[in-house]
Structure 1
Amino acid sequence: MSIQGGKYGTALQAASQAGNLEIVKLLVEKGADPNIQGGKYETALQAALQAGNLEIVKLLVEKRADPNVQGGKYRIAL
């Protein structure tokens, strides 16, 4: 679930940036870690925030995405 590579780092990061709520839910339910770092946005939470996908932001925070993780293009989610 957490294989990394490419522009977005992980499938969860790509789905979060693209606004695909159903895929994000599925990946998290299957064990994808929302705090894995890598790719352009560093975390799934940063990817969702950058794209303005607020429903995904809420879901990721509920699933323990850490808003204090730093790195990537925008450095920090908050």
Structure 2
Amino acid sequence: MVDKSYMLEKPPGPSPAKRYLDQVVVPFAMDVAGAGEVAVQNLSQRTGVRPAVLVGGMAGGVALLVVLAVRRGRRPALAH
């Protein structure tokens, strides 16, 4: 049951980690995402290629690089 002092007590604020996440990490991530969106839009206008095709091509290129890097790391070392 709620008593009279319930509205007078201030609840504890967010933890320092949550405050850092909310005030530093999330705004930085949004700025990076916005800059990426603008870059893709400008590249799309200059090349005449649809933005979805550009993003898909970039994602495919990154995936190919990751696969090649993983496969290269799994090669057995040559015995001397």
TM-score, normalisation: structure 1:
0.24
Radius of gyration: which is bigger? Answer: 2
Structure with greater proportional helix content: 2
Which structure ranks higher in relative contact order (CA pairs < 8 Å, sequence separation ≥ 6)?
Answer: 1
